[in-house]
Structure 1
Amino acid sequence: MKKVFTILLSLGLLSAQGQDLNQFYKQVDSFLGKYTKDGRVSYDKINKSLKDVEPIYKQIGEMNLSNASDNEKIAFYINAYNMIVIYQVAKYYPLKSALDQSGFFDKVKHKVAGEMITLNALEIIKLLRNYKDPKFHFVLACAAKGCPKLASYAYYPDKLQEQIDARTKTALNDSRFIRVNDNSNKVNVSMIFKWYIKDFTQNGQSVISFINTYKTNKIPDNYQLDYYPYDWSLNM
């Protein structure tokens, strides 16, 4: 009897956690649909309506992931990262850049699923180190124009890979993000590819071969690779 009760309790916990996560994804989806468009975020409007983002920020801290699947965790962490960035910029707006707030990424800690953690740790430890997918770099928003465009929707576990692949293709086919110059046989790419070069050169591939995996018009292998300066001004 005790064993049956334990199983039922466990199933109830799983169901409650699933409901909480689904509600979280829907809240993020609604919020992004309201305050973001074509990669731009209305930080000024959010600053005047912090009540729209504060409950989501609080929910990020209280979420229980103990029985979540990998896809549920990945979707949660991506959405959590993006919402924390937006919340933190909006809270201290007006800012010209996220870097105007000391320790924005590497010092300020936030409660994420019961754990106090920085944005850098959330990105590197919870996502990149655990799941080793360089495409995360194209779905995480850093509140900067130099970052790949933020999606105007939340990430969901049941369509996670489809969404991540779509955002990767969008970024790598954006001529402002990947700047190919056929006259000089050069390609200028974001500093993201330099900062995280190990992520993009796994299994012996080059940065260009990684980009070509998702780029419609392939970059010739003999083109010279260079990096343009990162634009940290707000994506608004």
Structure 2
Amino acid sequence: MSSLLHPEGPCVHPGQTTIKARSKFFYFTNIIVAGQKTTLLKLEKHIFDKFHDPRVYFAINSASWSSPRLPKDLFDANQLQSQLDEQASMFINRQGGCVFEKDDTVASLSSIFKWGKANFARGGGIPSFVNKYKQGQQLPESVKLEFQPFDWSVNWDNNARANMQSSPAR
């Protein structure tokens, strides 16, 4: 899916600054997967509905700034569990997925947590899931959760935000 959105891929055009600006391909372009015609939207929905594993949210990439980064290696069935754990940990700790605010009484989380709330609830809720992967200070069960606006800017290297450093994990 992400190769379609690569800066030189078929769905991104010079001067395009957001993925949303060219999202029709995601909703309406037919692709063949396992011999079946589908769209990327239906495929994504099928994956989330079938697996009910919140770590999958950190493995699927929309090539937008707020999306998890692509892993260096392809997913491998023999290593999938550890790869999903690694993706969740990287997003939560190093990619702005969870940031404490307001004297540590509020956690600012990626919108991904809001969108996947039902799947995160199956695992004991958002704070419990985050704490499984969060390095440093843990989220207390009483923490107030706020969700960051999702930034649909294209996340390629020459993006204006690419050189900004993210907040260090606490």
- Name the TM-score, length of structure 1 as normaliser: 0.59
Give distance in 2, aligned partners of 1:82 and 1:175: 18
Partner residue, 1:111 = 32
Partner residue, 1:101 = 22
Deviations for 1:54-80, whole angstroms, at most 9, x for unmatched residues? xxxxxxxxxxxxxxxxxxxxxxxxxxx
Provide structure 1 residue ranges, at least 5 long, that are not aligned to the other structure: 1-80
Give distance in 1, aligned partners of 2:134 and 2:42: 29
**2:78 is aligned with what amino acid?**
D
Shift in alpha-carbon separation, 1:116–1:86, aligned structure 2, 3 A: farther
Q: Do 1:98 and 1:104's aligned partners in 2 also have CA atoms closer than 8 Å? A: no
Alpha-carbon distance, 1:176 to partner: 2.0
Partner residue, 1:169 = 89
Give distance in 2, aligned partners of 1:135 and 1:176: 16
Alpha-carbon distance, 1:108 to partner: 2.1
**Larger-gyration structure (1/2):** 1
Q: Do 1:105 and 1:119's aligned partners in 2 also have CA atoms closer than 8 Å? A: yes
Q: Do 1:97 and 1:144's aligned partners in 2 also have CA atoms closer than 8 Å? A: yes
Query: Structure 1 residue 150 and structure 2 residue 48: aligned?
Result: no
Runs of 4+ in 1 over 4 A off after TM superposition: none
**1:189 is aligned with what amino acid?**
L
Residues 151-230 of structure 1: pairs in structure 2 closer than 5 A: 151-174=71-94, 176-181=96-101, 183=103, 185-202=105-122, 205-217=124-136, 218-230=138-150
Q: Do 1:82 and 1:141's aligned partners in 2 also have CA atoms closer than 8 Å? A: yes
Shift in alpha-carbon separation, 1:221–1:172, aligned structure 2, 3 A: same
Alpha-carbon distance, 1:215 to partner: 1.2
Shift in alpha-carbon separation, 1:166–1:113, aligned structure 2, 3 A: same
**2:73 is aligned with what amino acid?**
Y
Alpha-carbon distance, 1:99 to partner: 1.3
Identical columns (%) = 26
- Name the TM-score, length of structure 2 as normaliser: 0.81
Query: Structure 1 residue 83 and structure 2 residue 83: aligned?
Result: no
Alpha-carbon distance, 1:184 to partner: 5.1
Partner residue, 2:159 = none
Q: Do 2:3 and 2:9's aligned partners in 1 also have CA atoms closer than 8 Å? A: no
